[in-house]
Structure 1
Amino acid sequence: MTQALAAQQPAFAALAQITAAFGHLPGAAIGLSSITPRVVDISLHENLRSFEAWRESLGIPANAVDYKELPSGMLLKAECTFAGATVELSGFAPRLAPAEAVAR
């Protein structure tokens, strides 16, 4: 059975507070779902600098980030609680060639 929209209120409220507090951060794909009504999903697809800016602003420790190799690149994932909702942060980036990694 589908939950009422009101079940998502904690995620909506957290998203409003995130927008007010971190409006200066890079734009992101942001999702809310009735399947996980207390979760704000924030995905960054351009570079890992954007992920790091969000991670630091949300107060997520670097050692709490999970790293996964993908066929087309890499994925960083972390989560925290913010304003009563779970924030799931994901960062996707192409895999760097060894020379690129040293240059950055």
Structure 2
Amino acid sequence: MTELLTLSELSVPMRALRTLAAEYGDLPTPTVGITPIYPERLDLSLHNGLGEFEVWRVALGIRAETVEFGEQCGDTWTLRGTAPYAGAEIRLIAYGSALDSVRAVAGDGGRDA
């Protein structure tokens, strides 16, 4: 187990968050995570669909070819990317409905013919 950190030892991701807020205050609001387990990392999670991910990806300079796609429980897709920013590692993740889930709500059963 690691030794206990002080709040000041989390200043790197907090500074990155402060800089993001100043530079990109008009972008969609993410859920923010800072933890002493990864004291150099800032987690940004987007839960309103995958569209918001692209706006943040471009702002953070995450190359499209490095984005990882995932699936959870068959009905949720995820996009993940990382980038250095203001001395911190930014981990960006978005959650959105899988295409089959969206199509099922639209009434076509959610399956390809």
Q: Does 1:89 align with 2:92?
A: yes
Q: Which runs of 5+ in 2 are unaligned?
A: 104-113
Residues 14-93 of structure 1 aligned to structure 2 (within 5 Å): 14-71=16-73, 72-93=75-96
Paired with 2:89 and 2:42, the residues of 1 have a C-alpha distance of 6
Which of 1 and 2 has higher RCO (CA within 8 Å, sep 6+)?
Answer: 1
TM superposition score normalised by structure 1: 0.90
Q: Greater CA deviation, 16-25 or 90-99?
A: 90-99
What amino acid maps onto 2:23 in structure 1?
A
Identity score, percent: 31
Deviation at 1:49, TM superposition (A): 1.0
Count, aligned residues:
100
**Structure with larger Rg:** 2
Tell me which stretches of 4 or more aligned residues in structure 1 moved more than 2 Å. Answer: 97-100
Paired with 1:26 and 1:58, the residues of 2 have a C-alpha distance of 13
TM superposition score normalised by structure 2: 0.83
Paired with 1:18 and 1:50, the residues of 2 have a C-alpha distance of 15
